[in-house]
Amino acid sequence: MRAGQGAAAHAGRAPEQVKDLSDVPSFPAIYAAALDPRSRLGGKRGKGGKGGAGGGAETLPNIAYRVRKVRIDAERARDFDHLMGGPATDLVHPGVLHVLAFPVSLALMARRDFPFPLLGLVHLRNQVLQHRPVKVGDLVDVECRVRDLRPHRKGRTFEAVSTILGEDGEIIATDVSTYLVKGGKPAAAEPSGTAPSSAASAGAVPSSVASSAESAGATGANASTSVGGRSRRDFEPPQPTGRWVLGADTGRRYGAVSGDVNPIHLSAVTAKAFGFPSAIAHGMYTASRAFTEARVDLSKPLRWDVTFDAPVTLPGSVLVAFEDDPSAGTARCVGWKPARGEKGPRRCFEVEVTTLGR
């Protein structure tokens, strides 16, 4: 698959602009920009109308950010593997690819013409489609764009798409993050939890901020029990196969490796400044740890699907259950908070990894 395929899917739109960045943006600079009051002037955000989920005909910017020749850092890849509880290998964990592209995607969403405040998005789902293995030390290009703004019964959703390309323009992996902009008039035509578009599932290149609904991202607003499209009452927990005990420093440790120093993940003090009673784990930390513990064969193409449902508070613990289906080539993990008092069990996240081309 080559770069540029799928660009014609957005017929009727002006040609997409591509802005080349000299380097991967820094997280502190992005969060500083997001906190700038000028970046939250709702009536002046976007080209199609007022900002926010209820403000008219919002339009996503028709621009992609690109960073060329980004090297997969061996030290970061090693530290990421170890943080997730696995051995360091020459093959790169797809979570490293997400971390590599995430600041480029956030920088795009921190633009003054982006129609929604960055600090307010809820990460509902994530999907990585990886076509071939990536090795430590490889040089890749990173392209990020946003697409598919649509109504949702809790506001609006859109996709942030990051594409990892080889030096010859070959698409190595596509990372699709689905975000919810909460608020505004509910849209009955769009059920909560709508699946990613077929183009995303196919990994086509189109013409995270929030960290997750599971961690409410950089939102400052927690996800509701059904924000991911599934009611808490419907959850019947399976027999647990393990328990993760997460220390208060979990967010700081992930931040040190990933670079994502969002205050809501670092400590109770910094989280409270943004309206959280305690720090919460990065959503992609829980997703990446589940991926590692599923013992996926990184030498083969794969699809990694994640759905976030509820925060994982720090310090704290979460029950997990892993289930393999060798005939389908899938490994599945669900993580949840056990019942406590009158509160029933609550699903926090669900991860499924499918090995392709077996």
pLDDT, tens digit (0-9, with 9 covering 90-100), for 275-312: 888 999 999 999 999 999 999 999 999 999 999 999 89
The per-residue pLDDT of the chain, averaged, comes to 82
What pLDDT shows up at residue 286?
97
Do residues 136 and 92 touch, judged by C-beta distance below 8 A? Answer: yes
List the single range of 6-10, 177-181, 344-348 with lowest mean pLDDT: 6-10
Phi first, then psi: give them for residue 246, nearest 5 degrees.
Answer: -110, 120
Phi first, then psi: give them for residue 271, nearest 5 degrees.
Answer: -65, -40
What pLDDT shows up at residue 234?
77
> Dihedral (C-alpha) 330, 333, 334, 336: value to the nearest 10 degrees?
180
Distance of CA 41 to the CA centre of its chain: 25
Q: Give the percent of the chain with pLDDT over 90.
A: 59
What pLDDT shows up at residue 199?
34
The total of other beta-carbon atoms located within 10 Å of residue 252's CB is 15
Phi first, then psi: give them for residue 279, nearest 5 degrees.
Answer: -65, 155
Count CA atoms within 13 Å of residue 95 on its CB side. 31
Q: Which of 239, 230, 245 is nearest to 321 (CA)?
A: 239
The structure tokens listed for 116 are 């929604």
- The C-alpha atoms of residue 237 and residue 349 are separated, in whole angstroms, by 12
Q: Give the percent of the chain with pLDDT over 70.
A: 76
Q: What is the DSSP letter of 224?
A: P
What pLDDT shows up at residue 32?
78
What pLDDT shows up at residue 341?
86
The structure tokens listed for 13 are 């739109």
Structure pTM? 0.82
Helix (H) or strand (E) holding 332: strand 330-337
pLDDT digits (tens, 9 = 90+) for 96-138: 999 999 999 999 999 988 999 887 788 999 999 999 999 999 9
Q: Which of 71, 64, 77, 68 is nearest to 105 (CA)?
A: 64
User: Is the pLDDT score of 51 beyond 60?
Assistant: no
Residues in a beta bridge with 63: 17
15 CB contacts (<8 Å, ≥6 apart)? none
Scan for tokens 């002006």, then name that residue: 14
Q: What is the DSSP letter of 60?
A: -
Residues in a beta bridge with 122: 180
How many residues are given for the chain?
358
- The C-alpha atoms of residue 312 and residue 292 are separated, in whole angstroms, by 18
Q: Read out DSSP for 62-105? A: -EEEEEEEEE--HHHHHHHHHHTT----SBPPHHHHHHHHHHHH
